[in-house]
Amino acid sequence: MALLDIKLYGSPVLRKNCKPVTKVTPDLVALAKDMLDTMYDGGGCGLAGPQIGKAIRLVVIDTTRPDEGETPEPHIMFNPEWGVEPDSTDVPYDEGCLSIPDIFCNVVRPGKVWTKFTDENGQEVVLHNCEGILARCIQHECDHLEGKLFVDVISTADRTMNQSRLRDMAKKAKKGE
Ligand SMILES: [Zn+2]
């Protein structure tokens, strides 16, 4: 088990359009497992490549709560894509991000999605009718691969309320680069 350094809001890598993974290698699978450890340690349910400084299309997700005794159900997702299911409705949810600690804001997103990705064995996987936290996580983590963050789409009121904290975070990240 290895814990990786999480890049914080203001780090340039979080704004990169990430590169596709052309081959699932043992090194990348090991990296994904370290990302899962890092995610569990941080109490998150998803982590994307740029958050640990790698601008590659790799996402890990686990929406179970191992810290509350649930059996982990980790997903390692290379080159993930997603789309909205026909009977989806938009839902609000207070989102957070391991790269933007202690800020939680309402974001409205589709409530039911499909996702397609390559797993750790190099197999293509398609999951339909993902709902709840899983649907939320898939969209949030895939946004990271496009250099998008949830604070980009929050309300003006939420933005105003968190502006100085975000500015401080960005300043600190700049110093650390
Ligand atoms: Zn995030």
Q: How much distance in Å is there from the Cα of 24 to the middle of ligand 1?
A: 23
Question: Does the predicted TM-score (pTM) go above 0.75?
Answer: yes
- Which residues place a Cβ less than 5 A from the ion ligand 1? 97
Instruction: Return all residues near 37 (Cβ < 8 A) that are at least 6 apart.
Output: 1, 2, 3
pLDDT digits (tens, 9 = 90+) for 22-38: 999 999 999 999 999 99
State the average pLDDT over residues 34-55.
97
- Alpha carbons 17 and 87: distance in angstroms, whole number: 30
Q: Which domains does the chain have, with CATH numbers?
A: 12-176 (3.90.45.10)
Give SS3 for 98. Answer: coil
Name the maximum alpha-carbon separation found in the chain: 46
Q: Which residues are catalytic?
A: 141
Q: How much distance in Å is there from the Cα of 23 to the middle of ligand 1?
A: 24
Give SS3 for 82. Answer: strand
What are the tokens at 86? Answer: 């026909």
State the average pLDDT over residues 53-60.
98
- Alpha carbons 90 and 145: distance in angstroms, whole number: 22
pLDDT digits (tens, 9 = 90+) for 78-114: 999 999 999 999 999 999 999 999 999 999 999 999 9
